[in-house]
């Protein structure tokens, strides 16, 4: 990985004050929910919210659409792992394909251990400190959610759960009851944060938690780019990941949220992500789904203010045994708003990619413009691609355009590349990289270089 | 082989195309589900729907283009003209089964919203299980082309006349398609 | 150099080339001419290994003592057989830089870049076209020039030019051919063409006439006169 990441580090943030002995047993109960809150020393209102959410989760039905979630056994999952708990006990316990990938894409030793969860804490602290220095000077707050709740309870309370209430869906309810970790980002008025904030830079030891809760608030005229995830595969012992991300983009502000997800192939990745864009605000979701067994993720933007702009650029790659059910939601409430969804998906060896999108233009959202383009590439006979878009238009002064294409790599184009001496694998890889290029070019260089390398490995069939 | 025209009046129709040939399925202002299943090679299927709506007309139509055998072609075109408080709900499935290699399937839904109170719900769906295929769908919703209206008005047409002319133009594109498929004896509704 | 013996090429169940034999020698310039649909392009596609075309069991394709029949297109290219396509496709997201870098992994990137730029200048190819996805927004003539550029970088010893003169304006044709002359050295050129214009730039050592998938006639430059006055019908 890039030099930036090599020196990146991680500070051990809060310590868990546990009065009770809490063992990481499986299954969930109201008692456990209360214990989580107590261990974290949370205010009463948060505890109440968690309990309410838990009860909603219990009674809510599983969604009847989307990927096949029938194999999830809620009783067989651990809902809270302390930051000192390790994902695997030793390097040897890691699945071989993950170790192999780290080697092939050149992940340095220390980082391997960190990513794999073998080491609960990253050694060096220097860079992290430096980053924080710059941010603090600008008045920017960037810390983990647990800390935010302690240090900035008023702000958190004002926004938490207002865009995605626990009643939104079963998995938002689950997250709302057992959430732990995640990022809190607050950018004051007019502040432009030049350095992309990476989830990596956060404090707690667990690089990627199961039930992360992220809250980003960008005040008027501010701007920030937040990146989460990692192209290197992350081995997760726990198979259910259900995160919630709420983003508030105020007047004239701009937020870009980039996710590169490559969870190990045992993971169910069910995420609810939503942003609210006010007047002349810009919200961009860049979403890359490479790993996990099943992903259900539909980054959404509610365009509430006039002149708001939203974009979702997404890539989904599904190999054997994977189902990426992803897409976007754009709801236009105000006039002169525009949105764009570009989705690129690739399926091979029996993988399945589904695009699921909703575009809704409300009666008052006059002069809205929407453009959706979904392209899918099927690399072999066994694979599958679906497109399930919905357009609901309620005024006659807007233009909505949607197009989708499903095809395989043209024989003619393959032959052309091979006639230049590229092997079949090289030709297909070049083609796939070219196919996703419109999205990849928006991702920071260090990720995109790895992404391309990863695609090559996938194409060679040497992973999984 | 002559092209066969099938005009659908009953909203719930299942059609099976099990012999090679060119077929044209036409329907207008009906609700329901029209399912077309292609089980033979060398089938060319054109489906055309025209929804000309006024007042509080409400139509909900579901179509299916299902390909289970290789080397076939299907193309669906639906045009809706939504006036007053009418609403148009459309869901179109193109499903290409594993064995249906070398299928080309197309779908286009064009919705023209002519009034404030109109409503369109459009869901073009693709389920593709074969890889050596080409499949595309498109859905556009919006008012009449402002450029075109402006052009007509600069030629002396009033606002109403320009709109009428544009709408007639769109409808005639539908009829032209039908005629181009060499369907003889097609009567304009 | 390239020895074709009793070549029969079919596409699906349709036979396009019937029993074609010929020897292509090193350093020579050949022209393959004939009416539309005679199978000229098909012959080239079969030589470079297009999977859409099958060769009969008796067909013998030998290049510098290597049997080509079972080799994939990339292997044939690596042996030194190059082709400029009649209708070069546009490639999504892959620029000519990227393509050549992938084709020549071992070469130094900076050196490669410099060479590409230098040759682009000689061929009068706009710089933007090098950086954009291949052939995106390129005219017919520009596409053909980009094909020639690739040949100059890849250095095959035998190059098939499939209708390099079609869709190319007079000035571009001049640029392309003066470049090809300069750069020829020991290479073998085979031009597939309908028209005799190219011979004002280069003289062919041998001209082959293909009609209906068969070698109808062959000879030297005197064939041009015959074609121009009597057409392909006389063969």
Is B124 exposed, middle or buried (CB count within 10 Å of its CB: 0-12, 13-18, 19+)?
buried
At A121 the pLDDT is 40
DSSP state string for A11-67: --------SS-----BS--HHHHHHHHHHHT--HHHHHHHHHHHHHHHHSPPPSSSS
Do chains A and C touch by CB distance (3+ pairs < 8 Å)? Answer: yes
C133 touches chain A (CB under 8 A): yes
Beta-carbon contacts of A431 under 8 Å, excluding residues fewer than 6 positions away, are A409, A413, A414, A417, C91, C92, C94
Instruction: Report CA-CA distances (Å) from C211 to A286, B16, C9, C37.
Output: 56, 45, 14, 8
Q: Tokens at residue C83, please? A: 């082709």
Q: What is the pLDDT of residue A160?
A: 96
Instruction: Give the separation between CA A31 and CA A38, rounded to whole angstroms.
Output: 10
| Predicted pLDDT of residue B168 | 87
| Rounded alpha-carbon distances, angstroms, from residue C224 to A102, A363, C122, C213, C217 | 63, 72, 30, 20, 12
pLDDT of residue A119: 45
> What confidence score (pLDDT) does residue B154 get?
80
Report chain B residues whose CB lies below 8 A from the CB of A404. 124, 126, 136-138
Q: How many residues does chain C have?
A: 235
pLDDT at site A341 = 96
Into how many domains does chain A fold? 1
CA–CA min distance A324, chain C (Å)? 23
Contact between A232 and A41 under an 8 Å Cβ cutoff? The reply is: no
Distance from CA of C172 to the nearest CA of A (A): 23
Taking CA A156 as the corner, what is the angle to CA A152 and CA A160, rounded to the nearest 5 degrees? 165
More confident residue, C121 or A451: C121
Q: Measure in Å the smallest separation between the Cα of B95 and chain A Cα atoms.
A: 9
Residue the block writes with tokens 């090289």:
A426
Report how far apart, in Å, the C-alpha atoms of A122 and of each of A114, A115, A160, A196, A272 are. 6, 10, 29, 20, 29
Token code pair at residue A383:
């694979």
Q: What's the gap in Å between the CA of A101 and the closest CA on chain C?
A: 21
pLDDT score at A232:
61
Chains that touch B (3 or more CB pairs under 8 A): A
Per-residue pLDDT band at B152 (split at 50, 70, 90): confident
Helices (H), B40-186: 146-153, 159-180
Q: Does B138 touch chain A (CB under 8 A)?
A: yes
Q: Which helix (H) or strand (E) holds C228?
A: helix C222-230
Q: Which residues of A120-133 are buried (b: 16+ CB within 10 A; e: fewer)?
A: bebeeeebbeebbe
φ, ψ of residue B138 to 5 degrees: the values are: -150, 150
From the CA of A352, how many Å to the nearest CA of chain B? Answer: 9
- pLDDT-derived band at A464 (thresholds 50, 70, 90) equals very low
Burial A34-70 (b: 16+ CB within 10 A, else e): ebbbebbebeeebbebbbbbbebbeebeeeeebbeee
Mean local confidence (pLDDT), B144-154 = 82
And the tokens for A87?
A: 């994902």
Burial class of residue A103 in the structure, from the number of CB atoms within 10 Å of its CB (0-12 exposed, 13-18 middle, 19+ buried): exposed
Looking at every residue in chain A, the average pLDDT score rounds to 83
Provide the edge-to-edge strand list for the sheet that holds C81-84: C81-84, C158-162, C188-193, C29-33, C206-211, C214-219
SS3 category, A149: helix
Residue C125 pLDDT exceeds 60: yes
Helix (H) or strand (E) holding C43: helix C40-48
Mean of the per-residue pLDDT values of chain B: 89
Q: What domain range includes position A398?
A: 3-460
Q: Write out residues 82-121 of B within 8 Å (CB-CB) of A.
A: 82, 98, 101, 111, 113-116, 118-121
**pLDDT given at position A238:** 66
> Who has greater pLDDT, C92 or A248?
A248
Measured CA to CA, the distance from residue A460 to residue B114 in angstroms comes to 53
> What pLDDT sits at residue A451?
81
Considering only CB atoms, which chain C residues are within 8 Å of A422? 74, 99, 102-103
Q: Among A134-143, B91-100, C143-152, whose mean pLDDT is lowest?
A: A134-143
Q: Which residues lie below 8 Å from residue A381, measured CB to CB, with a gap of 6+? A: B98, B101, B130, B131, B132
Rounded Cα–Cα distance for residues A435 and A420 (Å):
19
Q: What is the pLDDT of residues A247-304, one digit of tens each?
A: 999 999 999 999 988 888 888 899 999 999 999 999 999 999 988 899 999 999 999 9
Instruction: For strands C81-84 and A282-289, give the pairing.
Output: unpaired
Facing residue for A419 by CB, picked from C83, C93, C104:
C83
Q: Are strands C60-63 and C2-11 parallel, antiparallel or unpaired?
A: antiparallel
The answer to whether the Cβ–Cβ distance between C102 and A435 falls below 8 Å is: no
Query: CA of B177: how far to CAs of A323, B27, B64, B91, B184, in Å?
Result: 39, 13, 20, 21, 12
Task: Give CA–CA dist B111/B50, Å, rounded.
Answer: 10
Three-state SS at A134: helix
Contact state of A421 with C154 under an 8 Å Cβ cutoff: yes
pLDDT above 60 (res A85): no
Residue A203 has pLDDT above 70, yes or no: no
Please tell me if residue A421 touches chain C, with a CB cutoff of 8 Å. Answer: yes
Q: Is the pLDDT of residue B189 over 60?
A: no
Phi-psi region of C147 (alpha: psi -120 to 50; beta: other; left: phi over 0): alpha
> A340 vs A221, A330, A441, CA distance in Å?
22, 9, 16
Let me know: does A269 contact A244? Beta carbons within 8 Å.
Answer: no
The beta strand positions in A278-398, using DSSP E, are: 282-289, 294-297, 300-303, 309-318, 323-332, 338-347, 352-361, 369-378, 384-393
Give the tens place of pLDDT for each residue, B97-136.
999 999 999 999 999 999 989 999 999 999 999 999 999 9
CA distance A183 to B109: 42
Q: What is the pLDDT of residues C1-31, one digit of tens each?
A: 899 999 999 988 888 999 899 999 999 999 9
- Among candidates A390, A406, A408 on the partner chain, residue whose Cβ is nearest the Cβ of B126: A406
Q: Report residue C130 CA to chain centroid gap.
A: 21
Residue B147 touches partner A, C-beta closer than 8 Å: no
């Amino acid at each position: 990985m890039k030099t930036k990441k090599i020196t990146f580090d991680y500070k051990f943030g809060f310590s868990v004050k546990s009065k009770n002995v809490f063992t990481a047993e499986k299954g969930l109960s109201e008692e456990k929910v209360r214990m989580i809150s107590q261990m974290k020393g949370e205010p009463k209102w948060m505890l109440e919210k968690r309990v309410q959410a838990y009860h909603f989760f219990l009674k809510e039905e599983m969604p009847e659409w989307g990927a096949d979630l029938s194999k999830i056994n809620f009783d067989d999952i651990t809902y809270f792992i302390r930051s000192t708990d390790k994902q695997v006990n030793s390097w040897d316990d890691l699945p071989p394909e993950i170790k192999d990938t780290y080697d092939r894409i050149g992940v340095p030793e220390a980082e391997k251990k960190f990513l794999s969860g073998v080491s609960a804490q990253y050694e060096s602290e220097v860079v992290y400190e430096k980053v924080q220095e710059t941010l603090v000077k600008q008045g920017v707050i960037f810390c983990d959610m647990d800390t935010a709740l302690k240090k900035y309870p008023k702000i958190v309370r004002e926004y938490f759960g207002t865009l995605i209430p626990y009643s939104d869906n079963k998995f938002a309810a689950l997250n709302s009851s057992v959430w732990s970790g995640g990022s809190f980002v607050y950018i004051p008025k007019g502040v432009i944060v030049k350095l992309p904030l990476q989830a990596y830079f956060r404090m707690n030891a667990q690089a990627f938690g199961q039930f992360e809760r992220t809250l980003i608030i960008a005040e008027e005229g501010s701007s920030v780019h937040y990146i989460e995830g990692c192209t290197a595969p992350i081995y997760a012992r726990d198979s259910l990941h259900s995160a919630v991300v709420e983003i508030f983009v105020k007047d004239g502000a701009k937020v870009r949220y980039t996710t590169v997800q490559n969870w190990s192939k045992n993971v169910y990745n069910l995420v609810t992500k939503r942003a609210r864009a006010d007047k002349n605000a810009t919200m961009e979701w860049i979403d890359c789904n490479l790993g996990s067994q099943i992903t259900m993720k539909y980054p959404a933007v509610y365009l509430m203010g006039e002149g708001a702009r939203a974009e979702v650029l997404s890539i989904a790659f599904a190999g054997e045994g994977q189902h990426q059910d992803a897409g976007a939601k754009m709801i236009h409430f105000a006039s002169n708003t525009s949105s764009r969804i570009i989705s690129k998906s690739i399926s091979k060896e029996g993988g399945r990619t589904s695009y699921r999108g909703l575009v809704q233009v409300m009666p008052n959202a006059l002069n809205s413009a929407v453009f959706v383009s979904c392209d899918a590439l099927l690399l072999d006979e066994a694979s599958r691609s679906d497109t399930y878009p919905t357009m609901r238009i309620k005024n006659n002064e807007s233009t909505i355009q949607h197009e989708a294409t499903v095809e395989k790599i043209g024989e003619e184009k393959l032959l052309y590349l091979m006639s230049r001496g590229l092997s079949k694998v090289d030709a297909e890889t070049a083609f796939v990289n070219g196919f996703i290029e419109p999205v990849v070019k928006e991702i920071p260089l260090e990720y995109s270089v790895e992404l391309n390398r990863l695609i090559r490995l996938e194409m060679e069939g040497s992973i999984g | 082989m002559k092209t066969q025209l099938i005009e659908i009046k009953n909203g719930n129709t299942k059609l099976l195309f099990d012999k090679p040939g060119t077929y044209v399925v036409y329907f207008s202002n009906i609700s329901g589900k029209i399912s077309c299943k292609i089980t033979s090679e060398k089938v060319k299927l054109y489906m055309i729907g025209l929804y000309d709506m006024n007042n509080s007309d409400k139509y909900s139509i579901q179509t299916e283009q299902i390909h289970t055998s290789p080397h076939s072609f299907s193309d669906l075109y639906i045009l809706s003209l939504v006036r007053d408080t009418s609403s148009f709900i459309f869901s179109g499935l193109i499903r290409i089964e594993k064995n249906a290699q070398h299928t080309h399937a197309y779908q286009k839904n064009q919705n023209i919203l002519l009034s404030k109170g109109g409503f369109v719900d459009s869901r073009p769906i693709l389920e593709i299980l074969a890889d050596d295929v080409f499949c595309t769908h498109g859905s556009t919703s919006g008012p009449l082309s402002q450029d075109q209206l402006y052009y007509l008005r600069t030629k002396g047409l009033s606002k109403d006349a320009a709109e009428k002319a544009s709408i007639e133009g769109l409808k005639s594109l539908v009829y032209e398609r039908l005629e181009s498929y060499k369907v003889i004896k097609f009567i304009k509704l | 150099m390239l020895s074709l013996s009793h070549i029969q090429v079919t596409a699906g169940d349709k036979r396009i080339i019937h029993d074609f034999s010929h020897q292509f020698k090193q350093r020579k310039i050949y022209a393959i001419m004939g009416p539309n649909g005679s199978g000229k392009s098909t012959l080239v596609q079969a030589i470079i290994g297009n999977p859409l075309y099958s060769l009969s069991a008796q067909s013998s394709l030998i290049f510098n003592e290597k049997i080509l029949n079972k080799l994939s297109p990339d292997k044939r290219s690596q042996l030194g057989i190059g082709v400029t396509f009649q209708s070069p496709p546009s490639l999504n997201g892959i620029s000519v830089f990227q393509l050549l870098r992938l084709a020549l992994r071992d070469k130094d990137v900076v050196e490669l870049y410099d060479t590409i730029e230098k040759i682009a200048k000689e061929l009068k190819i706009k710089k933007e076209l090098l950086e954009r996805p291949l052939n995106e927004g390129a005219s017919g003539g520009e596409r053909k020039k980009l094909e020639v550029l690739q040949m100059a970088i890849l250095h095959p010893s035998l190059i098939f030019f499939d209708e390099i003169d079609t869709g190319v304006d007079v000035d571009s044709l001049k640029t392309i051919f003066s470049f090809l002359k300069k750069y020829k050295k020991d290479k073998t050129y085979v031009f597939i063409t309908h028209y005799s214009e190219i011979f004002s730039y280069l003289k062919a050592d041998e001209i082959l006439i293909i009609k209906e998938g068969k070698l109808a006639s062959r000879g030297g430059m005197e064939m041009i006169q015959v074609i121009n006055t009597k057409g392909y019908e006389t063969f």
